[in-house]
Amino acid sequence: MPTKKVPKKRRVLSGVQPSGEAHLGNYLGAFRQWVALQETDDCLFCIVDQHAITGDYDPRQLPQRIFDMAVSLLAVGLDPDKCSLFVQSEVPEHTELAWLFNAVTPVGELERMTQYKDKASRLESVPAGILNYPILQAADILIYRAEAVPVGEDQLQHLELTREIARRWNARFGEFFPEPQAIVSGMGRVMGLDGQAKMSKSLGNTVGILAEAPEIWARIRTAVTDPQRVTRQDPGRPEVCNVYHLHEHFPPDVGLDDIAQQCRTARRGCVECKRILADTITREFEPFRERAAYYRERKDEVLEILAAGARRASAIARRTMAEVRSRMGLDWRVALG
Ligand code: AMP
Ligand code: TRP
């Protein structure tokens, strides 16, 4: 009987910094999509420890942060039977390819990156790693010749540069790398509880996805609401209120319309409105806390999941590098015969 050809699945890669426990912005902006994509696509998810060293960090804490991020990802529902989860430094080909991409990446393009400008402006002396960060990111993606990259909106510029690097490399050494597309969840970027900047671990304006009820409440209670609502009696504007926007992602039992209405008419105060949000988040993340507790108790199982992920990733990465070295004239021993 002729075997039916199974269509090849689309290759997907994404990465996250090992910032310890994941936060709500990571979850809404990225991980929720990762969990959905593992059902349909050939997915690789990478904890990027070599990106983490470009910023200020404590080497003594890095190993635990890597482990905690792995637990967070398993907790939100990544399934090692459906995707490969691994740590960047266990596949050293990423950094090798990044070095080779240096040859086709204009410094001017790197200097244009918003994330670079933002970070560099706050530093007196800027490490080259902060400038070259997007080259390593391009290597993370292209080493698997990934076609799609699910990320939060803040990463679109880095993805555009990845495509540029693929184009320039292909033009110089022959068509090989695909130009990967970003997959962005419709929600844009999640603002931090301070309402000032995007939610980010380094800004301390986050809610952890594994936090217990009292901590979730303690965090949500501090959230900034509509500044025009100075007293309990002032009517609020849900459209400018970050707490309302968070309600949109965690549909409350009373309904979103009720939240908006009661805010506009000042019938419900901000504290009560936040209480409802904290309760909904606590309930929705309950299964995450349970799974996290399971994996924290089973360190060896987590380490084996990461090892298996790295083995599969390495096999693909080695094939890519063999071709890249050959096209760039770096397989000189073979070429010399
Ligand atoms: P990071 O923790 O910066 O490595 O981010 C991991 C993933 O979460 C990336 O896809 C980011 O785009 C996404 N992400 C991080 N913070 C936010 C945010 N505040 N809003 C939306 N997505 C985010
Ligand atoms: N730069 C990304 C961030 O800060 C993390 C990252 C590194 C990444 N390598 C990647 C994301 C590859 C997607 C694909 O969020």
Domains of the chain with CATH codes? 11-191+299-336 (3.40.50.620), 213-292 (1.10.240.10)
> Which of 8, 117, 201, 299 does the annotation list as catalytic?
201
- List, in sequence order, every residue forming a beta bridge with 69; answer none if it has no partner: none
Cα(285)–Cα(264) distance, rounded to whole angstroms? 29
Q: In a structure prediction context, what are the per-residue pLDDT tens digits for the chain, which is 337 residues long?
A: 666 777 799 999 999 999 888 999 999 989 999 999 999 999 999 999 999 999 989 999 999 999 999 999 999 999 999 999 999 999 999 999 999 999 999 999 999 999 999 999 999 999 999 999 999 999 999 999 999 999 988 899 999 999 999 999 999 999 999 999 999 977 678 899 998 888 988 888 999 999 999 999 999 999 999 999 988 899 999 999 999 999 999 999 999 999 999 999 999 999 999 999 999 999 999 999 999 999 999 999 999 999 999 999 999 999 999 999 999 999 999 999 9
> Which of 4, 119, 274, 299 does the annotation list as catalytic?
119
pLDDT at 254: 94
- Asked whether 193 and 220 are in contact (CB, 8 A), the reply is yes
For residue 150, give the ligand 1 atom closest to its CA. Answer: 10
Q: Output DSSP code: residue 191.
A: B
Cβ neighbours of residue 164 closer than 8 Å, sequence gap 6 or more: 109
pLDDT tens by residue, 269-291: 999 999 999 999 999 999 999 99
For residue 88, give the ligand 2 atom closest to its CA. Answer: 9
For residue 16, give the ligand 1 atom closest to its CA. Answer: 4
- List, in sequence order, every residue forming a beta bridge with 15; answer none if it has no partner: 46
Q: What pTM does this model have?
A: 0.93
**Catalytic residue list contains 198:** yes
Edge-to-edge strand ranges of the sheet holding 148-151: 83-87, 42-47, 11-16, 148-151, 181-184
For residue 22, give the ligand 1 atom closest to its CA. Answer: 2
Work out the end-to-end distance of the chain between its first and last CA atoms, rounded to an integer number of angstroms.
44
Q: Which ligand is the nearest neighbour of the Cα of 242?
A: 1
Q: How many angstroms is it from 284 CA to the middle of ligand 2? A: 26
Q: Which ligand is the nearest neighbour of the Cα of 20?
A: 1
Nearest CA to ligand 1 atom 10: 151
Cα(147)–Cα(123) distance, rounded to whole angstroms? 35
pLDDT at 2: 66
Q: How many angstroms is it from 227 CA to the middle of ligand 1? A: 26
Nearest CA to ligand 1 atom 17: 25
Whether 154 lines ligand 1, by a CB cut-off of 6 Å, is yes
Residue 61: CB atoms within 10 A of its CB come to 12
Q: How many angstroms is it from 322 CA to the middle of ligand 1? A: 32
Q: Which ligand is the nearest neighbour of the Cα of 45?
A: 2
Cα(251)–Cα(274) distance, rounded to whole angstroms? 13
Cβ < 6 Å from ligand 2: which residues?
13-17, 48, 51, 137, 140-141, 149, 151, 155, 158
pLDDT tens by residue, 152-197: 888 999 999 999 999 999 999 999 999 999 999 776 788 999 988 8
Smallest CA-to-CA distance from 333 within 186, 23, 322 is with: 322
Cα(233)–Cα(228) distance, rounded to whole angstroms? 11
How far CA 329 is from CA of 99, 130, 213, 324, 326, in Å, comes to 15, 29, 58, 9, 5
Pairing verdict, β 83-87 and 42-47: parallel
Grouping H, G, I as helix, E, B as strand and the rest as coil, residue 11 is: strand
Q: Which two tokens stand for residue 215?
A: 């901590």
Smallest CA-to-CA distance from 220 within 169, 280, 131 is with: 280
- Asked whether 309 and 89 are in contact (CB, 8 A), the reply is no
Cα-flanking dihedrals φ and ψ of residue 187, to 5°? -95, -5
Query: Exposed/middle/buried for 194, CB within 10 Å: 0-12, 13-18, 19+?
Result: middle
Nearest CA to ligand 2 atom 3: 16
